[in-house]
Amino acid sequence: MDVLHNFVLFFLHIQYVVCLLLRTGVGLKNTEFTDFKITEQHLNAVVRPCLISCSVLCFENTNCLSFSYNRKTQECQLWEDDFIDIGITRSSPDVGWRYYYIIRECRIAREICQLNSGFSYIPGVCFCYRYESTKLLYQDSVDMCASYNSYLAKVDRGLVQLTLEQILASVIDGEVRIQGVLNSGAATWRYDNNDLITYFNWNKQNGQPSLNANEKYLLIRKSRDYRWHDIYTYEKYGVVCHIT
């Protein structure tokens, strides 16, 4: 009976994984890394017979955010990071490699997103957003997004950062607020729900974060290669609202 029970659970799990992969694909490919082998520290490196097998392996590892696969050699590499810029990622030319981001949940469909006035949808990453050029203070930005039943954009992985870069590429003034408040006493950054921020994309070449007095909010600066800056409480900027 236990064997049958375990088999049923395994079968249901496989069905769930396959259904999700059919909705989101095996992963979202970043073509910038095509024919390049990433040589950063990996979570795991194994041989798998096909691309979808490598994708499932990443999906089932909760620490895995992305994976690389080489169809020629059948090598599969799992990563706990999202690599978004080949210029700062250790890699070497090697024909056959492809790189993908894993999307574990697609919480909002295009049809639901577009029921919300002014919102646009990016398929693949299941990203529903509204860009507002009106320059606002932080709390006013949070309140405005809330009035649309949405939140100030929360950048918690490289894939979300890359998505915002694509959105802002067509915006003339691409300086926008994102979620993040400095807890000065603990020297930590937290999202609006008080969760600790662990992903950052600081403009380190220009001394960010500067951590001056009253610089306690986060900004993506398009003019600085979309890197993050900490900004003063009195500064006003545009906003990207996000429905999850």
94 and 180 co-located in one domain:
no
Number of domains in the chain: 2
Tell me what pLDDT residue 24 has.
Answer: 44
Same domain, 136 and 231: yes
C-alpha to C-alpha distance for 30 and 48, rounded to whole angstroms: 20
User: In which residue are the tokens 């937290």 written?
Assistant: 190
Q: Are residues 95 and 118 in the same domain?
A: no
Amino acid code (one letter) for 90: R
Cα–Cα distance, 196 to 191 (Å, whole number): 6
Q: Between residues 7 and 74, which one has the greater pLDDT?
A: 74
Tell whether 80 and 136 lie within a shared domain: no
pTM for the complete prediction? 0.85
Read off the tokens for 40.
Answer: 């950063």
The total of other beta-carbon atoms located within 10 Å of residue 199's CB is: 14
> Which two structure tokens, joined as six digits, stand for 167?
């959105």
Asked if pLDDT for residue 16 goes beyond 60, the answer is: no
For residue 179, give the amino acid letter.
Q
Co-location of 59 and 166 in the same domain: no
**Phi/psi zone of residue 214: left (φ > 0), alpha (ψ -120 to 50 degrees), beta?**
left
- Read off the CATH number of the domain in which 62 is found: 3.50.4.10
Residues 75 and 152 in one domain: no
Tell me what percent of the residues of the chain surpass a pLDDT of 70. 89
Whether residue 201 sits in one domain with residue 126 = yes
- Select the more confidently predicted residue: 186 or 61: 61
Q: Do 130 and 75 share a structural domain?
A: no
97 lies in the same domain as 31: yes
pLDDT of residue 23: 44
pLDDT of res. 1? 57
What is the band of 142 on the pLDDT scale with cuts at 50, 70, 90? very high
Q: How many alpha carbons fall within 13 Å on the CB side of residue 212?
A: 9
Residues 120 and 76 in one domain: no
Given 101, 124, 157, the domain boundary residue is: 101
Looking at residue 2, its pLDDT comes to: 66
Q: How confident is the model at residue 8 (pLDDT cuts 50, 70, 90)?
A: very low
Neighbours of 163 (CB within 10 A): 23
- 5-14, 29-38, 145-154: least confidently modelled range: 5-14
Output the domain CATH number for residue 238.
3.10.100.10
Whether residues 175 and 93 fall in one domain: no
Question: Is residue 183 domain-shared with residue 234, that is, in the same domain?
Answer: yes
Residues spanned by the domain of 34: 2-101
Q: Which of 66, 84, 101 is the last residue in one of the domains? A: 101
* Residue 170 reports pLDDT greater than 50: yes
Q: What is the pLDDT of residue 93?
A: 97
- Angstrom distance (rounded) from CA 31 to CA 105: 22
> Is 14 a residue whose pLDDT tops 60?
no
Q: Quick check: 66 pLDDT over 90?
A: yes
Cβ(179)–Cβ(153) under 8 Å?
A: yes
What's the rounded mean pLDDT across residues 33-62? 94
Confidence of residue 3 (pLDDT cuts 50, 70, 90): low
Name the domain boundary from 101, 123, 154: 101
Residue 120 scores a pLDDT above 60 = yes
Which of 15-24, 52-61, 125-134, 206-215 shows the lowest mean pLDDT across its residues?
Answer: 15-24
